[in-house]
Amino acid sequence: MNQGEGVMSQWKGNNGLSRRQVLATAVAASTALSAPAVLAQGRPRVVVVGGGAGGATAARYIARDSRGAVDVTLVEPTRAYYSCFFSNLYIGGFREYASIGHSYGALAANHGINVVHDWAVSVDRDKRTVGLAGGGSLSYDRLVLSPGIDFKEGSVAGWDLSQQNRMPHAYKAGSQTQLLKAQIEAMPEGGVYCMVAPPNPFRCPPGPYERISMVAHVLKQTNPTAKILIVDPKPKFSKQGLFEEGWQRHYAGMIERIGPDFGGDKVEVRPASMEVVIDGEVNKVDACNVIPAQQAGRIAALAGITNDAGWAPVVAHTMQSRADGNIHVLGDASQQGDMPKSGFSANSQAKVCAMAVRGALTDSKVYPARFSNTCWSLIATDDGVKVGASYEATDEKIAKTDGFISQTGESAEVRKATYEESLGWYSAISDDMFS
């Protein structure tokens, strides 16, 4: 695919520039990031940092719906996006790795979005510029930060990022997910897989427990005497009744969860010796998945818009930072109220943000914010469950108004339909982000 050609034809259509001007601009786009004024041509400028469910959706909706009236730049370090959602299904053998990977090519070709593969490393809120690791900087009228999560240092004793290959988190999808899957498959017969689950709040509340289900599904087939140990600092977790019912039905005797009442909140890991110490008791494990405590992706803190808990508080009506109205924060990094940190939530918030940004920068109509979320989880083959809710914006927060959850004891037919529905959702949200 020739991205440059797509970008040029988009711009030509919108601005009536001559081919020569367009060529010059396209060259500027790819090389001279320090000269955003050349790019902008007087159009309002939006910079989006982070190309996941929040950022990719926001960039796409702003560019698409403004029909070229807003100049959109998306800053994302990786060239291929691997979604955290459905990465557990890859671990379980239900998806190919390639099927959770997505390219940014269509965002450039179809919507004229300037996709810059670089790290955003600073935000100057007075000058309204974003600094890039590669050395350039980008000016903005509105900045959208959707950086996802980073891990809190020291939250699991004995673990830091330098140990992520011995004890993977696999909580940012990509090579970490591949590594964890390989380690599970390499476990000795009758070995132990241990997950250190995170404290609230964290990305994808049912995610660790769907992962447990997928690991159990793999081990049941290839290593049926293996054990699964969950060390959990939380007394309860998302969809708990549904997961525990499913584990009993499909993986009886395989999974043990140690909650805070038995020391699940007092854990130390020893990557060198592959040991997990729970409330003083040493356990030898064969694969160890450490999911540490989380906070907003680092750029949010660098921008100076995070609170003491490490998240970025936002105004629910527009997803604007409470610290700076020129910055919007989406998805996991935001502290918005009642929505879970999920890809679906980030995608939903991005549409409200896109409308607010267009309304502020162009004369487009602004409608009242509305949000929704549904999270599907797979417990075993054709055994899917879901939880969903709708939300509205109040002055205080994003507030839940209504919801539903799968029931225990549902028929196999209902569970299969729920799983198939999740496949449809994955297909649709992928297009909603990247097409």
Partner 1 sequence: MLALVPAGGAWSADAERGKALYAQCKRCHQVGDGAAHRIGPHLNDVFGRAAGSLEGFRYSPAMKAAGAGGLVWTAAALDGFLSEPRALVPRSRMSYAGMKEATDRADLLAWLRLSSGGGPDRPAAEPTATPEEYGLDPQLLTITGDPDYGAYLAGECTTCHRPDGGEEGIPAITGWPHDDFVIALQAYKRGKRVHPAMQLVARRLSDEEIAALAAHFRRAGDEP
**Which CB, 160 or 392, lies closer to partner 1?**
392
Q: Does 365 bind partner 1 (CB under 8 A)?
A: yes
Q: Is 404 in the site for partner 1 (CB under 8 A)?
A: yes
- The answer to whether 390 contacts partner 1 (rule: CB under 8 A) is yes
77 C-beta neighbours (distance < 10 Å), count: 15
How far is 374 from 206, CA to CA, in rounded Å? 11
Query: Which CB, 246 or 343, lies closer to partner 1?
Result: 343
3-state DSSP call for residue 332?
Answer: helix
Q: Which pair of structure tokens corresponds to residue 329? A: 């924060």
Question: Should residue 389 be labelled a site residue for partner 1 when binding is judged by CB under 8 A?
Answer: yes
C-beta of 137 vs 406, nearer to partner 1: 406
Q: Closest Cα partner for 335 from 348, 353, 322, 354?
A: 322
Residue of 142, 169, 328, 351 that binds partner 1 (CB under 8 A): 351
For partner 1, the binding residue among 10, 336, 348, 377 (CB under 8 A) is 348
| Residue 423 near partner 1 by CB under 8 A | yes
Single out the residue of 25, 87, 334, 347 in contact with partner 1 (rule: CB under 8 A): 347
Is 318 one of the binding residues for partner 1 (CB under 8 A)?
A: no
Q: How far is the CB of 295 from partner 1 (least distance, A)?
A: 26
Identified binder of partner 1 from the candidate list 307, 372, 381, 394, rule CB under 8 A: 372
Strands 267-270 and 275-278: antiparallel
Question: Which residues from 218-277 bind partner 1, rule CB under 8 A?
Answer: none
Q: Count CA within 13 A, CB hemisphere, residue 193.
A: 30
In whole angstroms, what is the distance from residue 435 CA to residue 433 CA? 6
Q: What is the DSSP string of 61-124?
A: HHHHHHTTSSEEEEE-S-SEEE-STTHHHHHTTSS-GGGGEEESHHHHHHH--EEE-S-EEEEE
Q: Does 386 bind partner 1 (CB under 8 A)?
A: yes
DSSP E strands in 117-247: the ranges are 120-124, 129-132, 137-139, 142-145, 149-151, 192-196, 227-231
- The residues that touch partner 1, with contacts defined as CB under 8 A, are 61, 65, 344, 347-348, 351, 355, 365, 367, 370, 372, 374, 386, 388-390, 401-404, 406, 420-425, 427-429, 431-432, 435
